[in-house]
Structure 1
Amino acid sequence: MNKVFLGIGGNIGNKEKNFNHAYTLIELKLGKIVQKSSVYETPPWGFQAEHAFWNQVIVIETKLEAEELLWRIHEIEADFGRKRGIERYSSREMDIDILYFNDEFMESKSLIIPHPKIHERRFVLVPLVEIAPKLKHPLRRLTSIEMLESCRDDSIIKKIQDKP
């Protein structure tokens, strides 16, 4: 069984409904959710947007290999209306990123694991520290806490919902 950390988030539509629907689709198409951080309200990262995001880190156990997992994540995002290739950063109902896949490093045309921007994003690091403070990044060799402490992102991250 593979242990995978996913970052999920969205800033348009009914966010609570979208998150609940995402949990259902993740369990149906990807694997069992074994842990969830609290949900946090965060500003857009890398672009301007009218609405704040909700973000969360979840852990799943899956039999899928990384490339098939990514393909199924794209299916779930498409269910929420995401169209790939338009803009790198944009408002959306649901975005799902693979943060870690076991403690592996992999790089292909379509996928880099661990996610290459984990250490730059407070909206990922704050919920990650909540559920896995001592988890070590397989390349940087820093824990989640150490990455958060050295993160240059000064975004305000506000807990809006305790662990569901």
Structure 2
Amino acid sequence: MAQLDERPPEWIETAPVVVRNARRIAAPVDAVWGRIADHETWPEWFTDLKTVTVTFAPEGVGGGRDVAAPGLKVRERFTEWEPPHRFAFTLFEGPPIMAAMAESVVLEPDGDGCTITYAQGIEPAKGFGWLMKLVAKRLDGQQRKALDRLAALVE
């Protein structure tokens, strides 16, 4: 794994590559938050992940986790934690094709349910911009499937 540049949540929207999906879920914010704040169960709904292991505090700014997917391991640090509405994290170790990556999850009340928005901002390492654009298409599909699976678990 390479050391990555850590980025704050507000950087995501201005990153060179941004992947963002939103979905309405017919469950209250608290129910959805309970599921996404349970880090080690992420692979149940974000099935492209193999394992998520809390490595420092499980919640709050500065907490973090290690995430493994087929052929990929990353280390994440929480940069924002506002239960039950939003959290964000930055990757501080990851694949050398990235210079930086940050992600956010935002929950907003929507009638008797909520809307979840998952966003990823990526800065490719020098010479890997072309590859990260291809990776972004895959991430988009993974996000969509994950949000659909999350909805199925909490609705």
TM-score (norm 1): 0.28
Structure that is richer in strand per residue: 2
